[in-house]
Structure 1
Amino acid sequence: MDDVMRAVRCVDGRATVAEVPVPVGEGVRIKTASAGVCGSDLHMMELGFLGPFTVGHEFAGWLDDGRPVAVEPIRGCGACGLCRAGHYNRCPATVGEVAGVSRDGGMADEVLMWPEAVVPLPAGVDARDACLVEPLAIAVHGFAMVGLRGDLRVAVIGGGTIGQTALAVAALAGCEVGLVARHDAQKEAGARLGAVPMTEEPYDVVVEAAGTTSALADAARVCRPGGTILVLGTYWEGMELPGMDLSMKEITVVPSSMYGRSGAGRDFDLAAAALARLPDLPDAIITHRFPLDACADAFATAADRSSGAIKVVLEP
């Protein structure tokens, strides 16, 4: 039927394909090409945070005229000082405007989004890979906060999608990048993206991308005195700081959340441009692709790192 479509919803704590009405009303219609399963999706589903909305905040697709686009899934009120300064990720109104969390997201045949969410893709970037623009934007935003330069030595703790995109962005900037990863697939992907073996020499910037107390302690251990820890991991159960290393080394800890806009433009636009310059990234980290109807298998695979999964993608 033309008035219904498929969409992934959280039903009884599980990812389930449901038939829902085709979206109508104001907005830009996007036919979904790819939607990534994020670790946050897994946690929110497990914790019961997801409401009656279509899941998926990492997604890309095609406009009605066929143009490929990525989608920035958040927006603020647009009027407060934070939004006017480009920090709409910090705006309290953003909580109610996150596609895939507090409104319908991209794990569906199509979705309506506000016009500002549309991010044109550079030539050569396939919409089927462009769900990676969202995690790339997280890395771009975080590194903008710490002032990434090519002469810095960077270590990344955590080999999941965020760790791999951080590695790729730092390597693209010309940095020497070491990676601490738990699983063989993560180590192999990191090597493809330019990671070099970790050394005993402390690092200028350490990216904590695992969201665990032990990872944060490892980050403080390998960070140089006066260095910086960039926290890209999400701490769902609170954070325990490695106080002695932080204090004795006078380490600066920089927490980072999502993405925004700076003098150079939107983090999302910069991330889309970075993806065009990282042709090996999709093959390195998109380890599994599933049709939309197999969403339960996709979520189960994403939750099982021993399966070799890094980024699991749904393709309607």
Structure 2
Amino acid sequence: MQVPFVCGPNDLRLFDIEPPRAGPRDVVLRVGSVGICGSDLGYVAAGGTVGPADKPFPIGHELSGTVMAAGDEVRSVKLGDRVVVNPLVNLIGNGSTEGAFARELLIRDFVARPESLLPLPEGLSLDAGALVEPLAVATHGVNQLGVKPGDKVAVFGAGPIGLASLVVLRHRGIEDVIAFDLSPFRRERALALGARAAFDPREQAPRETLLAEHGAVATFRQSLPATTHYLEASGAPVIPDILSFARARASLCVISVQKKPVEVDFGLVMSKELRMVGALGYPTEFGEVLEMLAGGTVDLGPLVSHRFAGEDFLDAFAMASRPGEAAKVLVQYDRD
């Protein structure tokens, strides 16, 4: 079977490898659907997870699948079980020896890490299962942000994580969300997922836009946007601007990868009693997402922009590399 490997900076190749076999403590999945993550794009650009790697490694970590083989010591799953993978447990697609862009995937020593596989609720598609991981990232960001119904939220960046955050915010009853993104395509997706409005920050300055959309509050003799919470999901250098026009006691969560150091005016943080917090991964959120999706009330349709067959992986990766034209791109190996 063919599996993509990162071989160096901007060097992604398909390798032919033998299908895996399960040892006594292992599980093999028939892969269902896999999402292309911004981390995958970053790994290819860098040639590794934090820079050029010593040897080629496979990618892919947002996935669902069906148990097709299990070792003699495996007890907590059985053949035919539909599951999602928590890749933080075994680092699949994040520098390990396995990556999810494959027809079959080995889950090594599952017996020692049974939390790496979670059952996909009845009625959910394999595509929905592939969205659990990015939704868990977004859920952790929303949890860190600490919003509640009635709050006014601004989301900077309507890429897959920004869009997934909109799903979670709307599910939590947050109705007044304003999104900012450079891409008209992604702004349309943001509106479809529940943003009240979406703007291009190059054409409509965020401070003035939020003043008009959320109203104004007085802070140190200034009229500042009444926005209570900010979610930075773009990776753009917008944090200093947000801090400059944030109202007193506003909250900012940074869920994006900031590729360059950001200068922070802690005089503003102190004087306005701003709350700043980061969000990385999903320490406890996988279960929350599965419960949310099992309720059957969440429409994930606008989150997915493209679907490709497994044999067309390179085309899928090329599409995901065009952020102005794509949201979440899925690669399907086993269709429901």
TM-score (norm 1): 0.82
1:224 aligns with 2:247: yes
**Map 1:1-316 → 2, pairs under 5 A:** 5-12=1-8, 13-24=10-21, 25=23, 26-50=25-49, 51=53, 52-64=56-68, 65-75=79-89, 97-103=90-96, 104-113=98-107, 114=110, 115-176=114-175, 177-197=177-197, 199-201=213-215, 202-214=226-238, 216-221=239-244, 223-241=246-264, 243=266, 245-261=268-284, 267-276=285-294, 277-281=296-300, 283-306=301-324, 308-316=325-333
Aligned to 1:293, the other structure's residue is in SS state: helix
Residues 134 and 164, structure 2, Cα contact 8 Å, conserved in 1: yes
Cα deviation digits, residues 254-286 of structure 1 (max 9, x gap): 11110112xxxxx111112223445421x2021
**SS at the partner of 2:311?**
helix
Aligned partners of 2:240 and 2:33: how far apart in 1? 35
Answer with 60-69 or 32-41: which moved more.
60-69
- Number of residue pairs matched? 283
Q: Which amino acid is 2:3 matched to?
A: A
What residue ranges of structure 1 are gaps of 5+ in the alignment?
76-96, 262-266
Q: Tell me which amino acid in the other structure corresponds to 1:6.
A: Q
Verify the 8 A CA contact 2:63 2:84 in the aligned structure 1: yes
Unaligned runs of 5+ in 2: 69-78, 198-209, 216-225
The CA RMSD over aligned residues, in Å, is 2.1
Identity rate of aligned residues, in percent?
A: 30
Alpha-carbon shift at residue 247 of structure 1 (Å): 4.2
Structure 1 residues 105 and 219 mapped into 2: Cα distance closer, same or farther (>3 Å)?
farther
Which secondary structure state, in structure 2, belongs to the residue aligned with residue 112 of structure 1? Answer: strand
Contact 1:302–1:310 (Cα < 8 Å) also in 2: yes
State the TM-score, normalized to the length of structure 2.
0.78
Distance 1:192 1:249, change over 3 A: same
What are the superposed Cα offsets for residues 195-223 of structure 1, whole Å, 9 maximum, x if unpaired?
10251432222111012212x23543564
1:1-32: per-residue Cα shift (whole Å, max 9, x none)? xxxx2222123433332211222333222211
How far apart are the structure 1 equivalents of 2:7 and 2:257?
A: 24
The separation in 2 between residues aligned to 1:291 and 1:11, in whole angstroms, is 23
- Structure 1 residue 289, shift from structure 2 partner: 1.2
Does the 8 Å contact 2:193/2:303 carry over to 1?
no
Which whole-Å CA distance do the structure 2 matches of 1:254 and 1:16 have between them? 38
Distance 2:119 2:246 in 1: 37
